[in-house]
Structures are given as C-alpha cells and as structure tokens.
Amino acid sequence: MIKIGIIGCGFIGTQICSAVDSGAVPAEIFGIFDFSEAKADDVLKLLKTGNPQKCAPEEMIESCDLIVECASQDAVLKYALPAAENGVDLMVLSVGAFQNPDFYQKVRDAAAASGSKIYIPSGAIAGTDGLKSAAMANISSVSVTTRKPVSGLSGSPYLIENNIDLSELKEPKLIFEGTAAEAVVGFPKNVNVCATISLCGIGFDKTVVRIIADPTISENMHELEVYGDFGHMKMAIENKPSPKNPKTSYLAALSAVSTLKKITDPMQIGV
C-alpha cells in the first residue's frame, strides 16, 4: 500500500483524502500540508482511518511513495524537482507550472534518472486520450475555448494587470485570446486544462486559448478542437464548479481521484 502526501487542503485535496479514507483507493495518507493551519485541521478531522499527520512537504519527500500537489503553481515550482530527484512519484494538478520549458525538462530528466513518475490527471476536460493518440501523427492545430462565470475569474492576474472590471458585465465577453503559455500565467487558477492539453498535443506556444467571461451561466465550460492527420475532433464539456471554490470544477477533483485509483490498479484502460 503506497504512502501518500497531500500538498494543499482545498476542495481537491479534501476529496482525495476522503477517497483514500473511505477505502475507494487502496493507499495510506502519510501526511498533509497547507499554509492554512485551519484547512489542514479541517481535513484531519474528516479522516477516520490511518494516522495522518500535518507535516512539511520536505518530510513527505523523505517518507512518501507519492506526493499529490493540489495547491498552486508555486508549490509545483518549489517541490516537484526535489521530489523527482529523490525518486518520489508526483501527481501535479497545477499543471501551468510546466509552461516553463526549462523547468519542465529539469523535472522530466530528474524523474527519468531516479525512476520516479510524474502523473498529470486530465482534469476538467475530456479528450486527452484522443489528443495523445492524434499526436502520434501530425497535428495542425489545437484550440481550447473556456467559458466561465464571472465569479470563477475574479482576481486573475491578467484581469488585474489589464484593468478589466467584470463586476458590471451583463452578457458574455471574450476577455482573452492567445497562447496557452500566456493563458496559464494570466489565469493560473482557471486554465490548468489548457496546460494539460498543451502537454498532450503541440505545446504551450502553439495551443490557442480563448477565455470568455459569461455572467449568464453557472457552469465552467470547455471546448477542445483539434485538426490533424487523423481528422477532426471536437469535444465539449459543461462542468459544475466545486461547492467551495468556483474556480475549480468538480470534475477536476474526480479526475485526481480517478488518476490515483488508476495508479494503484493492476488493470489499465485507455491511452
């Protein structure tokens, strides 16, 4: 049974801990960490099995088989490389951190040298399996259009830096169009799906991203469109936001739990 460390005790971290605690995933929670002591304490109160403790990520790197990052891009930048160098497997939810090609390559090389694995769940979008298959031949274009309620976009660096006020918005508005590399910096808590799609397909600089603020909806919507030698693929999904964080889709948490279950399952299905 693998020992897991959880970095980040928000909605996704809580769902993962609950899945392990219930026995849905055959694993053991070794430790949890969050900058908010209150959040970490709340998660510990929920757990009924094992002996999980609050501990620093550095301790997890020394003691765990797998670390799950569900905190922030900063957490990935700080802990992914030490974990990979120490031979510890890592699941990354804040995938936008890998838009830096030098950092991505360092983590990949360290994992290859130590034998560790880096797992990236598909998150709040569908179609990653088909996109990875399509990438075995030529892909001419990949685009992701994200439509979110205003509450799910508030506080994004791109909006602040460009003095974009959405508080009085009455109808859908295209607020960003550019590359995935730009999108994951400007909207670090909103478009991890774009980072995942970039890694599956043609990269951060060639993947086109459009972000629409829509005050008329309550769901997070993503549309993936791909053209290549295989043909044409178009996938659309409407996600309910998590009950506690409008920036996070509920499916993103389910995807993380599903990935963890796949890691521990002897039967592997799909690409």
Binding residues: 124, 192
Catalytic residue of the set 222, 241, 248, 253: 222
Angstrom distance (rounded) from CA 81 to CA 11:
25
Q: Which residues are annotated as a binding site for NAD(+)?
A: 124, 192
Strand pairing class (66-69; 139-148) = unpaired
Angle at 76 between CA 218 and CA 56, to 5 degrees: 105
Amino acid at 96: G
Dihedral pair phi/psi, residue 249, rounded to 5°:
-80, 145
Angstrom distance (rounded) from CA 48 to CA 18:
9
Q: Which residues contact 147 (CB under 8 A, 6 or more apart)?
A: 172, 211, 212, 214, 217, 220, 221, 222, 223
CB 22 within 8 A of CB 29: no
222 is catalytic: yes
Amino acid at 100: N
Angstrom distance (rounded) from CA 108 to CA 227:
28
Q: Which two tokens stand for residue 28?
A: 């053991």
Just list the catalytic residues: 222
